[in-house]
Amino acid sequence: MAIRLQSFGFCLLIAISKLSSSNIQVNAIAPGVIDTPLNAIHNAQDRENLAKMSPMEKIGNPQNIVDAAVYLTQSEFVTGTTMIVDGGASTGVW
């Protein structure tokens, strides 16, 4: 996860340095475990274990990612950030 976020950060830095002066915002979304067909292969026990990886003790749904994207598109002063949408799993606090 840390390496992925570092590469996101590098890409954002490059994009911001080229696009900010044109009032173009550059952000990224880093999803956690989301209930998609990709995760449908897991059995009930695996899904329960995945859910327990988050302080919220649930698997996210696609709407959670949509909500994050909408927020980022509606903001006027958020740029150069990676929004982590994982129910707090990346905090390591649970």
- pLDDT over 80 at 93, yes or no: no
94 within a domain of the structure (yes/no)? no
CATH classification at residue 54: 3.40.50.720
User: Could you read off the pLDDT of 2-56 as tens digits, one per residue?
Assistant: 556 566 677 777 777 878 888 888 888 999 999 998 877 788 898 899 889 889 9
What φ, ψ does residue 31 adopt, rounded to 5°?
-80, 150
Domain with 53 in it: 2-88
User: Checking phi first, is residue 88 left (phi over 0); if not, alpha (psi -120 to 50) or beta?
Assistant: left
- For residue 28, give the H/E element and its range: strand 27-31
Q: What does the pLDDT look like over 65-90, one tens digit per residue?
A: 999 999 999 999 988 888 999 999 99
- pTM of the full predicted structure? 0.79
Structural domain contains residue 17: yes
Domain count, the chain: 1
Decide if 55 is inside a domain.
yes
Q: Is residue 93 part of a domain?
A: no
